[in-house]
Amino acid sequence: MICRCCGREVCHVFLDLYAAPPANSFLTQDDLGRTEPYYPLCVYVCEYCYLVQIDETKSAKEIFNSGYVYFSSYNEAFVRHAAEYVNAITPQLRLNESSLVVEAASNDGYLLQHFKTKGIPCLGVEPSGSTAEVAKAKGIETIVDFFTSALAETIVAKHGNADLFIGNNVVAHVPNLADFLTGIATLLKPDGTATLEFPHFLNLIRDVQFDTIYHEHFSYFSLLSIGEAMRRNGLFVYRVETVPVHGGSLRVHCAKEGAARAVDASVQQVLAEEVGAGLDRLETYTGLQGKVESLCRTFLEFLCREKAKGTKIAGYGAAAKGNTLLNYCGVKPYLIDFVADLTPAKVGKFLPGSRIPVRGEEKIAEDKPDYVVILPWNWEKEIKERLQFIGAWGGKFVTVIPTLTITSAGGSKIPT
């Protein structure tokens, strides 16, 4: 395959997860009678620019049109994180009623609604029609499309150049990275800023976060690799923040080549941390496969041992990352009875691949499971707070990544 960042031939396998169905293709009762499409899930690393990436095996349009059901506003912590961002960036960039803010993958307006409240003009770009409709109902102008350089030109012609471009958890999903970044450069005013948030690859390798790998994530960025991609497409990173979402993300602030922006010390700090962890050496990238295999064996041994005793085990959070873990491990409903979730569009469906039923949160109170496996470990704290009530019948929490950990609802760790 050809590197999405530097265009050279990529031939080193980083991690092979064999094959899986698309992680967001939840199944209806009727779908259970049909064959699910499985696609290879193999991740490569480029030895030149260190971009970790999967080959594009399924078109982005196909993924987003097939049962994509993620509504950001259902996640309270996510909306809070967005509000904090808007409150910080507005004075930093001196945004006002004559500014323009454009967000790619604006989802249901979970973020732009905070600019709208401040009277700052904003425009969303969102490929999923169902989520875009929710944003429009909130009064947020939204273009139903993918953000590309061609779309950037259309936006500039109609609305002018942007003061701020936001791309949260989208750059990893972009099949044509160069075109996306060129689009940002086209869209921005000469002194404009783009902020991009993405899970920091350093955490993936450090904490064995292999379940963040699925078909919709084409690229896994470090500052080293995103910096190289920016340079190749007329942008540069002038500031970096670490943000505690998705198991540790980077928020990079970028400007157009030639813009009068001093490069902040934070850029050098994060680069030094990455080099210190060996991200500039190919050998660092090998060796994760063995850790993943060991972790999954431990998880399966736990499930098998407990189910043999007649224990009730439920999951919590029908997130995409849970599906990577469950499908790589080959878990089925005879090991995990059901997965509870708050998203109405998922309840009543079945997880892709594992075919575990998704039920509403009330099913936990009804069934009183002995263990609740928290699948989206990035929301562990919030989920534990929500589900404190399982302590009433001695229920315990299980997290799998980075190591299998069992805790009582009171918070004390139980040896495995």
Which residues of the shown chain bind Zn ion in the complex (CB under 5 A)? Answer: 3, 5-6, 46, 48-49
CB of 10 to Zn ion, least distance (A): 7
At closest approach, how far in Å is the CB of 228 from Zn ion? 7
The backbone torsions φ and ψ at residue 115, rounded to the nearest 5 degrees and listed phi first, read -70, -40
Q: What is the distance between the alpha carbons of residues 70 and 299, in angstroms, rounded to a whole number?
A: 27
User: Which residue, 99 or 219, is less far from Zn ion as judged by CB?
Assistant: 219
Tell me how far, at minimum, the Cβ of 4 lies from Zn ion, in Å: 7
d(CA 191, CA 171): 22
Shortest separation between residue 282's beta carbon and Zn ion, angstroms: 12
Q: Which is nearer to Zn ion, 226 or 356 (CB)?
A: 226
Contact 24, 70 (CB under 8 A): yes
Which lies closer to Zn ion via its Cβ, residue 2 or residue 414? 2
Per the document, the length of the chain is 416
**CB of residue 220 vs Zn ion: minimum separation in angstroms?**
13
What distance in Å separates the CA atoms of residue 238 and residue 283, rounded to the nearest whole number?
29
Say which DSSP state 99 is in: -
Tokens for 265, please give them: 């010390």
In the complex with Zn ion, which residue's Cβ is closer, 14 or 68?
A: 14
Residues 347, 313, 374, 288, CA torsion sign: negative
Nearer to Zn ion, 46 or 123 (CB): 46
Q: Could you give the CA distance from residue 227 to residue 250 in angstroms, rounded to a whole number?
A: 12
Please state, in angstroms and rounded to a whole number, the distance separating the CA atoms of residues 251 and 36. 36
Taking residue 212's Cβ as centre, other Cβ atoms within 10 Å add up to 20
Minimum CB separation from Zn ion for residue 3, in Å? 3
Closest approach, Cβ 49 to Zn ion, in A, equals 3
Task: Return the closest-CA partner of residue 104 out of 173, 178, 166.
Answer: 166
CB closer to Zn ion out of 46 and 170:
46
Scan for tokens 């490569």, then name that residue: 44
Which CB, 26 or 44, lies closer to Zn ion?
44
